[in-house]
Structures are given as structure tokens and as C-alpha cells.
């Protein structure tokens, strides 16, 4: 097995330097402009194809799906591959829910089940940028698919590494590619670090990850961000318009026996595979004492891109805690219209610009810093999903997987 340095041969100093370069060249202000549109929605220039936050346009939207299958990742991949609104340029597995030695063949299995071996699958990072890998086999089973067993894939991954594949595709179609990220953000951060101009060429990024209402692996952190918080911070600070579909909404997407029965009743390879994975995942949850089935976290992010009416979004400035002993991986959302800082209607915009600095921790006695202010005013960089139409989501998910929609 390769060491972490062989996978990402950068030092901490290089990591900090390259991260700063990404931020400087892409322009943080671009995030403010992008925050007024759903990440991935077509701009006036280079309108690419697809059903996005701005409505339906001429053809399929170019996307790259970065994933760590994973029960809900597997169903999200099948949903995406059954959706004609998407032109999937590549699938880039990463270590996360289970190690890369499992996420890569799991992705290849889904490609074969969906009959989409035309989609290149490129192996990604085996480990986070600066940390040891933490997996979620406790939730996804030892094989990542809730214990559901499928034949070994015969399709092979392409030789190009995931980060380079992402870089090449985005440069080939500047302003057209949306990144659908449903795992840790290691591959995306590696691509951005390798090419400081890349962030300015990405149309948008729709991520499953983060939370403004507590975590699922620690009280503070959602799993995908917890696994590689440094990578997540690079993405949030890159200037790419981000849509964060986190636990605030995905906790309301529990898969049920009725959903699985509808999948089982459909006689096609995709529905049967999805039903098998779903049934095993529900049983796995019950064996561990949970009252509900697994949440379809990743499928919701994909579905929200396909049908923006599924999600209600709100502008936030989001950043990631990377140094806290108990809070590493926590996503912090700043907003002039939420929480204790909420203001009277009609005054939010002026107050945000003048009176809402983004603060870090207060300086210590040993510090030479004179101010804890990180940004002198509120500038949103992320649209955060805060509402979800769960019925509409499952109608789309089960309908597409069963072949009835």
C-alpha cells in the first residue's frame, strides 16, 4: 500500500502555500457573486446544458461525481446514471466510507449495473491530505454496501489519477463543469492545489457534507468534512460557488421498507441492485438498534441538483474548523438573517456589510495577533440547504431507480 507521501507528496508548508494560491488566484469575491445563484446553474456566458437552479436549458449538464461508495453513494450514483439531465464526464472514487480498495470497485460495480461503462472511473486519494483515514464501516458494512454482495467488476479504471482527471476535464470545458461531491473532498482539493487557476473555471460545486446543526461522527462534525477538514477548507475558500447539502436536510431522508418494496417490484437491474443494497442497509440499522433506516444523504445532493425545488437554500459564509481537538471538521455558518445575529427585515444587507465581521478565536496571552477578525465583513460563499421536500425527493429517487420516472 502506498504511503500518504506517495499519494500526495506535499509538506505542511507546501499545503498552506498552495491553499493560499488557490484562494488568491480564484478570488474570494467570486464566491459572493456565485452565492446568488445555485451552484452549477448556468451563467450568461458559456451556458452549458442541464436542468439546474436557473431552470431547464438545452441539454445535459456536464458533471464530475466524486464519491466514496458507500450505501447512499451507490444509490446516488445509480440515480445520476439514470438521469438524462446529466452528462457524467467522470466518476472519481476517494477513500472515505471505506478504503479506496473498496470504493473504487464499488463505483465500477455501479457503472456496470447501470450499463454505463462509457463513463470513465478514475482512482483517487487513498488518504486525506494531512490525516490518517477514518472510515465508516460501522454504518456501511465492511464492504461499503451494507453487506450486499455483487460480482467483482470486470471494467477497469482509467490510468489517469482522479485529481488529474478532474483538472483535465474542467480545463477542457471551462465554465461548464459542476462538481457533484458526495464524499470527503480530498480529490477536489488535490486538483485545486495542482492548478491555481482551476477554481475560476469550475461552474459550481454541489456537496453532500457539513452541517449547521451538529455532526454525525462527533457532536460537531459531519463525516465527509471530518475525514478531511483541510481539503474542505480549501474548497470553501476557493471561490467556487458552493451548494452545501448537509445534515440539516439529509437527516430527513430515511429509507423505508415501502421504498425498498417499490424498488423490488420493478424488474430492472438498477432497481434490483438498489433494493438489495437498501434492504441490507435497513437490516444493518435494525441490528444495531436504530429506529429508522439509513438516510439517503448523497442521493439528496444529486436529486437537489436535478430538481432545485426539492431544497430551500440560504446564503451563508461557511468555514471549517481544522485545529480544534474536539471540533475538527465542524462547518461554521455565518449569516445576518439566522440565529442570534438575525436582524429586522430590510436592514440585513446594510448591517451585513458594515457590522458583521467574521471572527476567529480570541488571541491568547502568548499571541502577537491584535485582532481575531478573519474577514472584515460578511460575504457569502455558500448556499446552504435548510429546507427539504422529502416526499418530492423520494418520488424522484425511487421513480428513477425503478424506471417509472
Model confidence pLDDT, tens digit, residues 352-397: 555 778 888 887 788 766 556 788 888 899 999 999 999 999 999 9
Which range is least confidently modeled, 15-24, 117-126, 255-264, 368-377?
15-24
Q: Say what the pTM is.
A: 0.85
Residues 353/378, Cβ–Cβ less than 8 Å: yes
Q: Which residues are catalytic?
A: 297
pLDDT interval class at 233 (50, 70, 90): very high
Q: How far apart are the C-alpha atoms of 47 and 50, rounded to whole Å? A: 9
For the sheet containing 61-67, what is the strand order?
Answer: 86-93, 61-67, 178-182, 204-208, 242-245, 382-388, 311-320, 331-334
- What was the pLDDT predicted at 289? 84
Q: Considering the domain delimited by 11-331+382-402, tell me its CATH architecture.
A: Alpha-Beta Complex (3.90)
Q: For residues 9 and 201, which has the higher predicted lDDT (pLDDT)?
A: 201
Domain limits, the chain: 11-331+382-402
Residues 79/401, Cβ–Cβ less than 8 Å: yes
- What was the pLDDT predicted at 53? 38
Amino acid at each position: 500500500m502506498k504511503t500518504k507521501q506517495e499519494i500526495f507528496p506535499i509538506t505542511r508548508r507546501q499545503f498552506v502555500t498552495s491553499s493560499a494560491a488557490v484562494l488568491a488566484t480564484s478570488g474570494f469575491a467570486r464566491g459572493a457573486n456565485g452565492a446568488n445563484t445555485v451552484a452549477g446553474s448556468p451563467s450568461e456566458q458559456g451556458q452549458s446544458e442541464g436542468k439546474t437552479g436557473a431552470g431547464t436549458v438545452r441539454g445535459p449538464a456536464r458533471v464530475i461525481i466524486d464519491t466514496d461508495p458507500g450505501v447512499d453513494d451507490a444509490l446516488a450514483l445509480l440515480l445520476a446514471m439514470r438521469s438524462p439531465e446529466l452528462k457524467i464526464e467522470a466518476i472519481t472514487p476517494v477513500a472515505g466510507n471505506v478504503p479506496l480498495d473498496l470504493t473504487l470497485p464499488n463505483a465500477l460495480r455501479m457503472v456496470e449495473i447501470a450499463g454505463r461503462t462509457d463513463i470513465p472511473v478514475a482512482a483517487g486519494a487513498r488518504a486525506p491530505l494531512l490525516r490518517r483515514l477514518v472510515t465508516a464501516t460501522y454504518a456501511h458494512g465492511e464492504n461499503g454496501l451494507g453487506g450486499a454482495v455483487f460480482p467483482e467488476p470486470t471494467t477497469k479504471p482509467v490510468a489517469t489519477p482522479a485529481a488529474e482527471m478532474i483538472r483535465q476535464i474542467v480545463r477542457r470545458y471551462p465554465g461548464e463543469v459542476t462538481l457533484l461531491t458526495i464524499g470527503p473532498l480530498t480529490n477536489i482539493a488535490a486538483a485545486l492545489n495542482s492548478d491555481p487557476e482551476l477554481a475560476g473555471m469550475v461552474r459550481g460545486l454541489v456537496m453532500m457534507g457539513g452541517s449547521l446543526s451538529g455532526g454525525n461522527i462527533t457532536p460537531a462534525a459531519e463525516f465527509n468534512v471530518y475525514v478531511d477538514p483541510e481539503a474542505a477548507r480549501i474548497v470553501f475558500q476557493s471561490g467556487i460557488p458552493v451548494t452545501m447539502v448537509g445534515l440539516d436536510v439529509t437527516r430527513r431522508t430515511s429509507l423505508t421498507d415501502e421504498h425498498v418494496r417499490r424498488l423490488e417490484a420493478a424488474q430492472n437491474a438498477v432497481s434490483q441492485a438498489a433494493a438489495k443494497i437498501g434492504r441490507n442497509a435497513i437490516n444493518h440499522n435494525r441490528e444495531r438498534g436504530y429506529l429508522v433506516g439509513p438516510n439517503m444523504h448523497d442521493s439528496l445532493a444529486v436529486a437537489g441538483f436535478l430538481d432545485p425545488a426539492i431544497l430551500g437554500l440560504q446564503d451563508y459564509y461557511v468555514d471549517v474548523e481544522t485545529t480544534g481537538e474536539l471540533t475538527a471538521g465542524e462547518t461554521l455558518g455565518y449569516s445576518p438573517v439566522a440565529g442570534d445575529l438575525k436582524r429586522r427585515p430590510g436592514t440585513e444587507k446594510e448591517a451585513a456589510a458594515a457590522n458583521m465581521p467574521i471572527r476567529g478565536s480570541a488571541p491568547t496571552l502568548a499571541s502577537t495577533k491584535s485582532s481575531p477578525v478573519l474577514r472584515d465583513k460578511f460575504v457569502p460563499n455558500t448556499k446552504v440547504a435548510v429546507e427539504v421536500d422529502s416526499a418530492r425527493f423520494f418520488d424522484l429517487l425511487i421513480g428513477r431507480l425503478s424506471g417509472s420516472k
